[in-house]
Structure 1
């Protein structure tokens, strides 16, 4: 009996593939850190039954028209804005993502980004590397306190709640905005629901954890940054598309807000000459929210479980459509 073919768009450790090798034939892009070229992806996917891909792969109608055998697209991410889910559904192709397994790790990174930005950690490290530390003064590299401040979380999903738990450990007041209220979070985390504008006006830290949708696209725009306190710090660990980047750059340059910590950008990857990289009050990371070894292995494992379920006629564990 011929094995079903699974194509993986990045090189991953063989140990993660081995449990499934007796059942499936695996093909894999041979570079771990470079995206598979579009033409190679199409050629390989034409003969594949399952596809394990990353956010960098655009799975649109044109692509789906060329892959008649494909039964499942397993996206190694919580978000799936790289996939035209409706077009996949029309063709009977299942789309899955990887929620839950990366919640705590992404919350860790989000809070680390908040702390690094508030306390100017990267600036301070560069200060020594550039051999500038030849004196001490009372306000040298003085940053913002975190304890007992107000955090405003936009997008109170799993990761938002995990960030709120960390904030409570710092004695922070937790405010949130979400499409729907979360009574359990309000009770368990002593979180207060606010309208979006009110959250912007009152929070010391505005943290974006909202998924990218038509409604949330560039929700953080010029008007949003103008509503924030001048002392506010903006953190984005969701999707770059929820921010009007030009407006953010202007807000940072004009000191309309104090600082920003960013793990995601409008167009990724960004280069060293990106305007945000030239600002001392911006901490920029290369989209590493879930980047711990254990979590990335768990994400890949969940992708395989979803693929195996669909290819054997069972229901996937984490379907999007």
Structure 2
């Protein structure tokens, strides 16, 4: 019996691609180029399954044009805002994702951004690298202390809960907003806020960990940024669409927001050139899950979903 054909749309970890080649006929993207809509449609005629990343955009139009051959989309990501799930549902194509396995890595990046933004890491690094560090005084490079401060976490799912654990290690007072309150054994003393509007005024730091949906797009706009205490710091490792970027720039310029740490942007790749004018915005190129361990785990989780599907079982992480 011939093996199912799987198109792996981006270059994944060596271990992932080796396992995929063992169990499937694979079509690889060794040049790691981003596929256009037409590329995706063309490849669907050659593959029984597609293993994409968030860089492949499955709009309603793309989904409608997919070949009947493709039966499952096994995403190499937790977020699926690049997929029109309703369109997939109507098309009868199964969609899965890779939850759980990237929570630690993403929370690490969130803490890096929080600490780096608070303690002016980009400015200090630039100063030493360029040889412009010429003096020292008690008023030199004074930043914001993280230890003992209040953190507001928006989205208390897997990543948000790990972030809360890391923040408690710094003695931070944890507040959170979620679609529903967690059971007390998962809160670990965190304070629940039924609305974002009650959370923000008590958040010296706010860290975003919710998905990008029609309800959360533009969540952090001028009005909500104004609710934060003066000197607050904004951290985003979720999706760029959660922040109205022009409003964040305005809040940074006014001094109401002291700093920001961002791993994701409205436009990716590339980011927002307006942010580059502000040394107190610490930026990374969407690398929240970029560790060797996590990349293997994500690839294996996606392949687990494919294995279950082609064995006639329900994929563990089925969304549609």
By the TM > 0.5 criterion, same fold?
Answer: yes
User: 1:6 maps to what in 2?
Assistant: 6
Preserved CA contact (<8 Å) 2:122 2:279: no
Tell whether the 8 Å contact from 2:13 to 2:295 is kept in structure 1 after alignment.
no
**Structure 2 residue 31 is matched with structure 1 residue 21:** no
1:98 corresponds in structure 2 to 98
Q: Is the 8 A contact 1:186 1:193 kept in 2?
A: no
- Paired residues for 1:254-269 under 5 Å: 254-269=254-269
Residue 172 of structure 2 corresponds to 172
Q: Distance in 2 between matches of 1:213 and 1:2?
A: 39
Note if contact 1:209-1:236 (Cα within 8 Å) is conserved in structure 2: yes
Instruction: Give per-residue Cα distances to partners, 1:205-240, cap 9 Å, x unaligned.
Output: 011111111111111001011111121000011111
Cα deviation 1:11-40 (Å, max 9, x = unaligned)? 2345423334354210012223x3123333
Q: CA deviation at 1:63?
A: 2.0
- Partner of residue 129, structure 2: 129
Aligned to 2:293: 294
Q: For residues 2 and 128 of structure 1, do their structure 2 counterparts lie closer, same or farther at Cα, with a shift above 3 Å needed?
A: same
Task: Look up the match of 1:72.
Answer: 72
Q: Is the 8 A contact 1:161 1:185 kept in 2?
A: no
| Cα displacement (A) at 1:244 | 0.7
Aligned length: 318
Coordinate RMSD, CA, aligned: 1.5
Structure 1 residue runs of 5 or longer lacking an equivalent are none
> What pairs with 1:139-218 in structure 2 (closer than 5 Å)?
139-184=139-184, 187=187, 189-194=188-193, 195-218=195-218
**Alpha-carbon deviations, 1:252-288, whole Å to 9, x = none?**
11112101100111111125x7101111110111111
Taking a change above 3 Å as real, the CA distance of residues 172 and 304 of structure 1, as seen in their structure-2 partners, is same
* Aligned partners of 1:6 and 1:51 also within 8 Å: yes
**Which is worse superposed, 10-19 or 130-139?**
10-19
Cα distance per residue 1:88-137 (max 9 Å; x no partner): 11122111111000011111111111011111112111111121111101
- Distance in 2, matches of 1:185 and 1:284, equals 34
- Structure-2 residue corresponding to 1:58: 57
TM-score, scaled relative to structure 1: 0.95
SS at match of 1:258: strand
TM-score normalized with structure 2 length: 0.95
Contact 1:103 1:158 in 2 (8 A): yes
Decide whether the 8 Å contact of 2:251 with 2:257 is kept in 1: yes
Residue 249 of structure 1 corresponds to 249
Between 216-225 and 85-94, the greater mean CA deviation after superposition: 85-94
